[in-house]
Copies of this chain bind each other. A is one copy, B any other.
Amino acid sequence: MAQTRILPPADNAYQYPLLIKQLLLSGPRYSPDQEIVYANRSKYTYTDLVERIHRLANALTDAGVKPGDTVAVMDWDTPRYLECFFAVPMIGAVLHTINVRLSPDQIVYTMNHAEDDVVLVHDDFLPILESVKGEIKTVKTYIQLTDEASAKPAQLATAGEYEAMLASAKTEFDFPDFDENSIATTFYTTGTTGNPKGVYFSHRQLVLHTMAMTGSLSVHDEMPLLRSSSVYMPVTPMFHVHAWGVPYAATMMGIKQVYPGRYEPELLVDLLKEHKVTFSHCVPTIMQMMMGTESIKTADLSNWHVLIGGSALTKGLCDAGAKLGIHMYTAYGMSETCPLLSATHLTPEDMELPLEQQTAKRVKTGIAAPMVELEIVDPDGKPVPHDGEAKGEVVARAPWLTQSYFKEKEKGEELWQGGWLHTGDVASMEPDHTLVIKDRIKDVIKTGGEWLSSLDLENLISQHPAVAGAAVVGVPDEKWGERPHALVTLKPGEEASLEDIQNHLKQFVDSGEINKWAIPEQMDFVEDIPKTSVGKINKKLIRDQLK
């Protein structure tokens, strides 16, 4: 280590630890009367938010929560959840955001693995817990959440209902200072194999993620996402990577926030219209559902900017959105990365391009965010050229990456190799620093000694006018090692055959985008493509079903 100069502080000097409580300082100062909306149910101000966070801290403490405890939440996307984002870590406890879309068995697995002490549970999810009641090992206290006048009668003994507890709690809590490396949040990744794995983020990591996100979503005039006049509505769930961390950034800056509760497409579109939402983040599936509603046809969406993540933004979806006025961009990250790694970056010159060429840029994985280092490496960990052609595994460094998997030392050591987090994604890097994800390493189709990107193929298939969606996996083949097999869903009332799709793909062979051997001989036309609990194509399941 270099012998740099480090000086001792004066007596009494405050050595500022980075803590989540500091993210709550500026928003309420800038915009005390700014609104936080809960669907079509209720709204309150930033001043109210601060008071409710103090009340919640008192209520939790009264219920026995201590620093170091784990407090789990099972809720829809609500301002209550936002309150938990702050109050739980601010008292020194760990917030476990439970993925309510997992199976009851997986949910109880994550609760036991995280060693949850307290669970805040919405009426709607109470039956899940009641069904696995005997298997829950560490929970001492349940607190009920409800959207009705009073909570549902529960079989589980509960300490009370959230609103009632807040109402009787004191309005001021003296939030302590502590080590900035204290764990603030944890949640479980939903891999397609094995048990869910716990990732976790410290106060320091979340503060740095929030600060970098605020800058990078605010500064670009070509992508004005987080501005004081923005209206933010999350459309990826709050249990999943803290809704990409945007609620922290929006709160820090005092921006209007709209929480939709349940993800019902008609409701979401109504909220977009009513509150003139300007900024969301979303996965392609939900975006497609929203775009399929009747009510979207009468919405003015020309000021709606949407980061698309989770799965790749396809050209088809981006173009269809643009026809409705929606500005879509790609964001890249994963549970392990808090999540922000990179996002679309448009230059002023890009904005002057015809839409079709803009789309080509918007669907790319984008440019690394501030403070992030991205590299693409070969199996030996050596960087491959940034020529837009060479493929390598994406590895990352940033101040906010999970430092391991909770209680899974070996898996943590697979994740971190040589001081880089290995994403499991395969990408090329263009000379202008734009990352283009090609596939998951395990989904790449190895055919005839070449790597074929299942993602590229899905993209091209979905450009056929009759196609609604596509999934491509590699299936074993005696001659070629693997061959691509496609599942295709068609738009309502549309028809297409294997030959139609193959003919459609031939144009991309002619234009040099793919090789002839990339065209699948095997294709199933299906009603639905299997998805994981977070809406990604479940290729593991598809491969299993095709066996």
Contacts and interface: CB of A to CB of B under 8 A. Distances in A.
Given A215-B252, A412-B13, A7 B371 contact: no
Interface centre among A2, A3, A15 (most CB of B within 10 A): A2
Contacts of A26: 216, 367-372
A221 B228 contact: yes
Contacts of A348: 228-229
A525 interface: no
Interface stretch (A151-159, A401-409, A515-523): A401-409
A219 interface: yes
Interface string A181-208: 1110000000000000000101000001
Nearest to A200: B7
A215 B27 CA distance: 12
A16 B399 contact: yes
Contacts of A416: 9-14
A57 interface: no
Interface string A418-458: 11110000000000110000000000000000000000000
A1 B14 CA distance: 15
Nearest to A69: B5
A30 B345 contact: yes
A226 interface: yes
Nearest to A342: B29
Nearest to A412: B10
A389 interface: no
Contacts of A432: 32
A273 B100 CA distance: 58
Interface string A21-39: 0100110011110000000
B4 A179 contact: yes
A92 interface: yes
Interface of A: 1-16, 18, 22, 25-26, 29-32, 66-68, 70, 92, 94, 176-179, 181-183, 200, 202, 208, 211-212, 214-216, 218-222, 226-229, 252-253, 255, 345, 347-348, 367-373, 397-399, 401, 403-406, 409, 412-413, 415-421, 432-433
The 3 closest A-B pairs by CB, nearest first: A10-B412, A4-B182, A9-B403
